[in-house]
Chains A and B, each alone.
Chain A
Amino acid sequence: MTETSRIRNFCIVAHIDHGKSTLADRILELTHAVAEREMRDQYLDKMDLERERGITIKAQAVRLTHQLDGTPYVLNLIDTPGHVDFTYEVSRSLAACEGAILLVDAAQGIEAQTLANFHLARDAGLAIIPALNKIDLPQADPEETAREVGELVGWDPQDVLRISAKTGQGVPELLRKVVELVPAPQGRREDPLRALVFDSTFDPYRGVVAYLRVKDGVLPSRSKIYFMAAKADSEAEDCGVFAPEATPVPELGPGEVGYLVTGMKDVHLAKVGDTVTTAGKHRAREPLPGYREPKPMVWSGLYPAEGGDYTELRDALDRLKLNDAALQYEPEVSKALGFGFRCGFLGLLHMDIVKERLEREFGLELIATAPNVEFHVIRGDEVIVVHNPSEMPPPGTYDHMEEPVVLATIVTPSTYLGAVLELCQSRRGELVDIKYLSPERAEIHYRLPLAEIIFDFFDQLKSKTRGYASLDYEPVSYQRADLVRVDILLHGEPVDAFSAVVHRDKAAPYGRQMVERLRELIPRQLFDVAIQAAIGSRIVARETIKAKRKDVLAKCYGGDITRKRKLLEQQKKGKARMRRVGRVDVPQEAFIAALRIDQKAGQKAGQKP
């Protein structure tokens, strides 16, 4: 156990791609935590998926030893997720720290996530150490960025550190500041144990592993413990620290950060934000503040492309859920797509990650319905929660509807201010305020319906600002909205998978877009097929796919019947992959393409360019 006076718990917060993982790598090298030959880029991002996407979705904690003026300090570096989907997880990681490095790209300046993370860190009461990164780049503008950052955090721009995480320049000075400015943890050994869970994973051999920060008391290995929010008893089979590989320790004392192996089989018993205490009479009275149930914001139906893979999809979701406490799902049946699941995600990125893992790790081919938010249908005192547009009650049977609204922060070069305002207005936005970070850069706050954000907003924002604007948002409330359900009918049959809940003003354009898209995607059939968009019984758009007239192998002689048969067999396979909706054969690809709002909006929102 280490004296709390020599412990510093800190994290790095930054906008995506401002160099957080590279800085972590340099810190690991500087503290000799990883032998040079074992060093690899983005060392802390364990999963392959994360490394490829260049983002971190699971917080990791690493314990480092750093000598400063002859005194050894223990530095616990807690890595935080860097995406708007995971704001709550970020807030818990921050709550495990006393300080944060606010890392800002000296060429890019402050971005939306810089602001969002700064506010989160400040709200968590952390000491904030601003640092400008990438000062070695020719296009870096450290003076201007230092002015912006100084203004934001209340520092003299002269004092803002200038570093290059790539070359290591300035990193030793930054570590010195961490030791000097980040307060040592408080907390007494004698108090009842309270440890904050800031992440958890499931290991198939060892069970649930919780990452935690001890606030008060001591957590010894082999002790009986209790998860306060989950109300679950368990045992600390093993405690340890990441140095940076897992290293068992006899106990974790106040201020320490490490892991706890529980042997529990269900990761939902060790949710982010929960408090671990001692079981029995030494149990703490009050849990640590700030626990919140993970709340899905975005819903989508996931269906196996091959109907028979339903059981495999269920098993795969069960397996993923072991590791992902935020993932929710319930079985649902679609007339068009068969048996599947309505899944709840923290956001579009979370949705894409889950989909990609299902496809990559479990070899499943999936059809995902267009993502939607959680709608509230108000009928008298009753609130009906709708996760699937096709469950929306018919018009006239309820009083009104409500939808989630977020507070969005957009940082953009002032040149594009007009374009951004126009976009937000067109998305039913309500301007809160505009601030200028500098004469060239504006920080805009808007209240926007979440449904508008998940519909192509980020791509539009990027394209209207040549990629310069950044976005962050947080949910604020539900608000009344004039929403209608648009149904798509194929040859007179409604296709539940294509139904969407949209604002009344946008219903007809949405219907027209879907109908036109489907006309391109659905092959001609043996009869004319009408594609219609309807609000209730009112048709708002219509297209016709004319009956096909030619489907024949013109020439069949010369004895090569084998080849003709193979062409037919190929065609037969294609037919077998279609789904019959009423009398119309619809290829899987049509479902996939029609339901895609745009090219992977979610990924773009979190991905490095």
Chain B
Amino acid sequence: MSAGLYVHVPFCLTRCGYCDFNAYAGLGHLASRYVGALEAEAGLWAEDWGGERFGSIFLGGGTPTTLDQGDLARLLARLRERFDVDPGAEVTIEANPDTVDAAKLAALLEAGYTRLSMGAQSFDQRVLDALERVHGPAAVRRAFAAARAAGHTNVNLDLIYGANGETLTSWRRTLEGTIALGPEHVSAYALTIEPATPLGRKVGAGLVPAPDPDLQADMFGLACELLGDAGYGHYEVSNWALEPRFECRHNLGYWRKKLYLGLGAGAHSYRDGRRWWNVRPPGEYLDAVEQGLRPVGGEERLTPQEEQLEEVFLKLRILEGVPVTSVADEVASGFMEQGLLRRVDGNLVPTERGMFLLNELVLELASYRRA
């Protein structure tokens, strides 16, 4: 079973108001030190993970493309030296429209980055403003064209729906604009308000309305409809791919409970029923690695109940579903009558409506599961 390798790059040009990831603006001066630390950290784990073959690498953030192309190329080369990486591995890098140009995109492809995931979020300027994104819709189109010109043939666009001021019509235009570009993969996320973010505080203080869940449900339905009509397959709650081979192998690894190693500040790892995570602040991370220590900040071992809850949660997310035989009949039939679950072969799989009520399904199915 192949493993995944995640590399976290915590730098951004600016912080977006909704984002609660481990990301920082204004730490650019640490960039080259940080890349050095990633390489050093890889060395700290290399022996332990020597027996694993990695089928995917994912550089996430933050904004990995804030690093310069030379660093990014060298980093990937070092990772391939340290670990047993499948020659045909999927290697994804996240990019913001403002941090890439044709030359950089070409260099990334040259360096071995096979998949580009771009934070487009919306084609509506008002929505981008509400999300405090610094780029405009034109920049997304420009960056996408540059990626194509550079030869990228596996591109994802990230979208967010439900920001303050966004209407169903505006969301339709964003979806149509996305489909017109023809990316191989689309991720569309319902905006979630995290309390510990600038946007979260504004919502908490009543300055900005919280997203309307019913409108978001309509938007989800519209995404399913338009992306489906355009030939995208819906393979996870928030993810669509033009063909099965464009489904994100790395993320599928998380959802299928394959093992993964995370490098970088706050990165998470999973192996042998144990999860651990690195310290979050980049400074602490650098200090630990530079002293030759593994920068682990915490860990947990899953109890059987936790394993089970995760399993139901993840299997339902990727529409694999749970075996009909694992669920009490009256619970299954109740949800089927309500149109939230359907039977596919021997499994219970969420319907489109069920996907947007997934937590309810998970909690019920995990607690009523037969032994």
- Are A561 and B260 closer than 8 Å at their CB atoms? no
- Are B338 and A550 closer than 8 Å at their CB atoms? no
Query: With A550-B214, A554-B238, A572-B363 in contact, is A561–B314 under 8 Å at CB?
Result: yes
In the complex, the chain B residue whose C-beta lies closest to that of A572 is B363
Determine the chain A residues whose CB is within 8 A of the CB of B84 once the complex forms: none
Contact with B along A535-546 (1 / 0, CB 8 A): 000000000001
In the bound assembly, the distance between CA atoms of A556 and B239 in angstroms comes to 11
Contact with A along B1-20 (1 / 0, CB 8 A): 00000100000000000000
The reply to whether the CB of A139 lies closer than 8 angstroms to some CB of chain B is: no
In the bound assembly, the distance between CA atoms of A561 and B268 in angstroms comes to 9
- Are A551 and B277 closer than 8 Å at their CB atoms? no
Please tell me the size bucket of the interface on B. Answer: 35 or more
Interface centre among B262, B353, B363 (most CB of A within 10 A): B363
- Are A548 and B363 closer than 8 Å at their CB atoms? no
In the bound assembly, the distance between CA atoms of A556 and B190 in angstroms comes to 12
- Are B268 and A568 closer than 8 Å at their CB atoms? no
Interface centre among A554, A561, A564, A569 (most CB of B within 10 A): A554
- Are B251 and A568 closer than 8 Å at their CB atoms? no
Cβ 8 A contact of A552, one of B60, B309, B338, B356: B356
Interface centre among B300, B310, B359 (most CB of A within 10 A): B359
The reply to whether the CB of B175 lies closer than 8 angstroms to some CB of chain A is: no
- Are B358 and A557 closer than 8 Å at their CB atoms? no
Determine the chain B residues whose CB is within 8 A of the CB of A552 once the complex forms: 190, 237, 355-359
- Tell me the B334-365 residues at the A interface (CB within 8 Å): 338, 340, 353, 355-360, 362-363
Cβ 8 A contact of A556, one of B220, B268, B317, B357: B317
Contact with B along A192-222 (1 / 0, CB 8 A): 0000000000000000000000000000000
Determine the chain A residues whose CB is within 8 A of the CB of B237 once the complex forms: 552, 554, 556
Query: With A554-B190, A571-B359, A575-B363 in contact, is A559–B213 under 8 Å at CB?
Result: no
Determine the chain B residues whose CB is within 8 A of the CB of A546 once the complex forms: 214
- Are A565 and B309 closer than 8 Å at their CB atoms? yes
- Are A555 and B189 closer than 8 Å at their CB atoms? yes
A532 to chain B, nearest CB (A): 22
The reply to whether the CB of A560 lies closer than 8 angstroms to some CB of chain B is: yes
The reply to whether the CB of A232 lies closer than 8 angstroms to some CB of chain B is: no
- Are A568 and B309 closer than 8 Å at their CB atoms? yes
Q: How many residues of A contact B (CB 8 A)?
A: 25
Determine the chain A residues whose CB is within 8 A of the CB of B353 once the complex forms: 549
The reply to whether the CB of A419 lies closer than 8 angstroms to some CB of chain B is: no
A488 to chain B, nearest CB (A): 25
The reply to whether the CB of B157 lies closer than 8 angstroms to some CB of chain A is: no
Determine the chain A residues whose CB is within 8 A of the CB of B60 once the complex forms: 558
B108 to chain A, nearest CB (A): 20
In the complex, the chain A residue whose C-beta lies closest to that of B318 is A556
Contact with A along B233-273 (1 / 0, CB 8 A): 00001100000000000010011000010100001111000
In the complex, the chain B residue whose C-beta lies closest to that of A556 is B317
- Are B360 and A526 closer than 8 Å at their CB atoms? yes
B211 to chain A, nearest CB (A): 9
- Tell me the A101-131 residues at the B interface (CB within 8 Å): none
Contact with A along B308-333 (1 / 0, CB 8 A): 01100110010000000000000000
- Are A557 and B309 closer than 8 Å at their CB atoms? no
Cβ 8 A contact of B338, one of A526, A553, A561, A562: A526
Query: With A548-B357, A550-B190, A551-B357 in contact, is A556–B306 under 8 Å at CB?
Result: no
- Are B275 and A553 closer than 8 Å at their CB atoms? no
The reply to whether the CB of A527 lies closer than 8 angstroms to some CB of chain B is: yes
In the bound assembly, the distance between CA atoms of A549 and B338 in angstroms comes to 12
- Are B338 and A551 closer than 8 Å at their CB atoms? no
In the bound assembly, the distance between CA atoms of A561 and B309 in angstroms comes to 11
Determine the chain B residues whose CB is within 8 A of the CB of A549 once the complex forms: 213-214, 217, 353, 356-357
- Tell me the B286-312 residues at the A interface (CB within 8 Å): 300, 306, 309-310
In the bound assembly, the distance between CA atoms of A553 and B359 in angstroms comes to 7
- Tell me the B212-237 residues at the A interface (CB within 8 Å): 213-214, 216-217, 220, 237
The reply to whether the CB of B192 lies closer than 8 angstroms to some CB of chain A is: yes
Contact with A along B75-115 (1 / 0, CB 8 A): 00000000000000000000000000000000000000000
Interface of A is mostly: loop
B285 to chain A, nearest CB (A): 16
In the bound assembly, the distance between CA atoms of A528 and B21 in angstroms comes to 36
- Are A561 and B357 closer than 8 Å at their CB atoms? no
- Are B360 and A568 closer than 8 Å at their CB atoms? no
Determine the chain B residues whose CB is within 8 A of the CB of A550 once the complex forms: 190, 213-214, 216-217, 220, 356-357
Interface centre among A527, A551, A559, A571 (most CB of B within 10 A): A559
In the bound assembly, the distance between CA atoms of A560 and B262 in angstroms comes to 10
- Are A569 and B300 closer than 8 Å at their CB atoms? no
In the bound assembly, the distance between CA atoms of A564 and B238 in angstroms comes to 15
In the complex, the chain A residue whose C-beta lies closest to that of B60 is A558
The reply to whether the CB of B367 lies closer than 8 angstroms to some CB of chain A is: yes
Determine the chain A residues whose CB is within 8 A of the CB of B213 once the complex forms: 548-550
- Are B313 and A568 closer than 8 Å at their CB atoms? yes
In the complex, the chain B residue whose C-beta lies closest to that of A583 is B334
B91 to chain A, nearest CB (A): 16
B273 to chain A, nearest CB (A): 13
- Tell me the B187-214 residues at the A interface (CB within 8 Å): 189-192, 213-214
Determine the chain A residues whose CB is within 8 A of the CB of B238 once the complex forms: 554-555
- Tell me the A505-546 residues at the B interface (CB within 8 Å): 526-527, 546
B192 to chain A, nearest CB (A): 5
Contact with A along B159-202 (1 / 0, CB 8 A): 00000000000000000000000000000011110000000000
B287 to chain A, nearest CB (A): 22
In the bound assembly, the distance between CA atoms of A67 and B367 in angstroms comes to 77
In the complex, the chain A residue whose C-beta lies closest to that of B255 is A556
- Are A562 and B275 closer than 8 Å at their CB atoms? yes
Determine the chain B residues whose CB is within 8 A of the CB of A562 once the complex forms: 268, 275, 277, 300
In the bound assembly, the distance between CA atoms of A561 and B276 in angstroms comes to 11
B86 to chain A, nearest CB (A): 19
- Are A559 and B270 closer than 8 Å at their CB atoms? yes
- Are A561 and B254 closer than 8 Å at their CB atoms? yes
In the bound assembly, the distance between CA atoms of A549 and B355 in angstroms comes to 10
Query: With A568-B362, A571-B363 in contact, is A558–B356 under 8 Å at CB?
Result: no
Selected A-B contacts with CB under 8 Å, 15 pairs:
A549-B353, A550-B220, A551-B358, A552-B357, A552-B359, A555-B189, A555-B192, A558-B21, A559-B260, A559-B270, A561-B314, A564-B313, A568-B313, A568-B362, A571-B363
Known: A551-B360, A552-B190, A560-B277. 7 other contacts (CB 8 A): A526-B340, A526-B360, A549-B353, A552-B358, A556-B254, A561-B254, A568-B359
Nearest 8 Cβ contacts at the A-B interface: A549-B217, A559-B268, A550-B213, A554-B190, A552-B358, A551-B359, A554-B189, A557-B251
